[in-house]
Each structure stands twice: as structure tokens, then as C-alpha cells.
Structure 1
Amino acid sequence: MGVPKRKRSKQRNRQRRAQQKIEAPKLVECPQCHELIVPHRACAECGYYKGRKAVAVK
């Protein structure tokens, strides 16, 4: 079983974590109302998903 021989310093941990950048979600255009939405989700503006009404919008 792998066991660390020495403690990892705070600086070394932070440098490693700095490489894992968080990106903004990719956006696509809704085919019905042409609003920008997150892919594979129902549109918040018109309520459509994959060409059919999925959610009732107020």
C-alpha cells in the first residue's frame, strides 16, 4: 500500500490545485426562442427541450 514518506507542503498543494481551473459552462442557442442555455437542459425562457414542450413557464 502506498504511504507518503514526507508531508506535502501547503505551497506544493496550492500549486497543484491551481492547475485545476474552473471554467464557465458552455452555452448553446435554444432552437425555439434563440436564448442561450446550458446544453441538455430545458430552456428557462420557453420551456422546450428537444423540440417539445417540457416545462410550463409562467
Structure 2
Amino acid sequence: MNRDWRQVRDRVKATWSDVEFDDKNMKRVRGSLKQMVSLIQSKTDEKRADIRRRVVAIM
């Protein structure tokens, strides 16, 4: 996730376009799939497994 971080970040923001992601929080979860899933889950209340599948597909 570190290699193409900007691309991943932009795709996450586009996928969950109805959610506001603070750049500070996005930088904090950089490189950690588990933390990225937790951040998205805390903002959307989606199931972690569903979020994980979507994030992995983005990468």
C-alpha cells in the first residue's frame, strides 16, 4: 500500500465519496490495510469484511 499511496488514497476517497476523509487520518493509516479498514468502518458502519474486499480490489 505504500508504493502507490496517492493513487490508493484517491481511489478510497472516490469509492466512499459520501464520506469525508481527513488527510491527517489518511496519512496515519498509510501502509496498513487493517488501519485503513478500521478508519473506513468507523465512518461508514459497513462490515469490515466488505470494506476489506473493496480496498483490496482498489489496490
Larger relative helix fraction: 2
Q: Settle same-fold status: TM greater than 0.5.
A: no
What's the TM-score once normalised by structure 2's chain length? 0.21
Larger relative strand fraction: 1
What's the TM-score once normalised by structure 1's chain length? 0.21
Larger Rg: 1
Where relative contact order (Cα < 8 A, 6+ residues apart) is larger, the structure is 2
